[in-house]
Structure formats: C-alpha cells, structure tokens
Amino acid sequence: MPRRFFPLGDPFVRDGRITPRWEGLLRDLIAVPSWVRGAERSSLQAALSPVTLVPSEPRSETLYRLSYYVRVVQAATVSSSLQVTITWTDGGVTQTYTGALLTGNTTTTLEQQTELLIQVDPDTPVEVSTSYASVGADPMEYDVEVAHEPVVRQRQTDV
C-alpha cells in the first residue's frame, strides 16, 4: 500500500465529488489486505463446530498471527458459559489453544486475543470452535470473529 499523508489544506469535496487525494486516503483507511482472512459468526445460540479458517500453504510451514474477539450479545435468563478453542498441527503434533472460560452472563462479557502466534505444518488446517452452555428460558447469544494472517513462510518441503 503506498504511503499517503494527510491532505491538509486540500478541500474534501470539489464540484460535488470527493477530491482524489481524500478518496485515496479514505480507500487506504478502509482497505483490508487480501491476505487477512477471517471467520465471523453472529448471534450464535449453540457451540460452534470446528470451522477451518484456511489450510496452510501446501508445501511450506507457515507462522500465523491469529486474533479473535468473542462477546455475549444476549445474556441467558439464568447462567451461561462460553470458551474459544483453536487447533492446528505443528511438527506432526496437534496443538490446542483454549481461551478463558467466560461465565459473566452479561452483554459486557467478552474476550479478545491478539498476537497469538502459531506455527502450522504444510497442508494442515487451523480450526476454531467454541464450547457453549446456557441455562434459562432465554438462551445466551454470542458473536465471534477470528482473523489470521501469515507472518512467515518457512522452509519448503519436497514435492
């Protein structure tokens, strides 16, 4: 992405249209690089079965940076719990990251994790799932968003 400086002194609109310098800056601000991928689920009322984020590159180990955000959007009538799990394979061994068990049961209950680095074997997926429990007439609902990006591609394996 080209580096753009804030166009001080430039008019924002000219002849009823956004000026090219402002338009370029705004496009850069809202652009999400194509290599950032994610999974998003909203208003879930059950456990999330494992969802594959993206398989690793076919012939190279890859170091990924993962981030996730999970939040209760509707509290259960009595109580609830929620937990995020991420699984991947490194060195032929299944690895698991388990987030904090969320038991707050309020709409301010949330967890976010950034900068989770994982090394992934070639041709193996990275999966995210949740465990869920809810008690009461009104079930707990939650949103979860997971993003990941490759940081480093390591050694190539033979074909």
pLDDT tens digits for range 137-154: 999 999 999 888 878 665
Instruction: Determine phi and psi for 62, rounding to 5 degrees.
Output: -135, 135
Strand partners, 86: 97, 128
Which token pair is 99? Answer: 């987030």
Strand ranges, E, within the chain = 13-14, 17-18, 37-44, 51-55, 60-74, 79-90, 93-98, 110-120, 125-135, 141-156
- Render pLDDT for 67-126 as a digit per residue (tens, 0 to 9): 999 999 999 999 999 999 999 999 999 999 999 999 999 999 999 987 899 999 988 889
C-beta separation of 35 from 66 below 8 A: no
pLDDT mean across residues, the chain: 82
CA distance 82 to 104: 9
Task: Please tell me the class of the 35-156 domain.
Answer: mainly beta
Q: What angle do CA 81, 66, 84 make, to 5 degrees?
A: 10
Which CB contacts under 8 angstroms, 24+ apart, belong to 96-101? 99/68, 99/70
pLDDT of 57 > 70? The answer is: no
Q: pTM of this prediction?
A: 0.72
- What b/e readout covers 34-64, taking b as 16+ CB neighbours within 10 angstroms? eeeebbeeeebeeebeeeebbebeeebbbeb
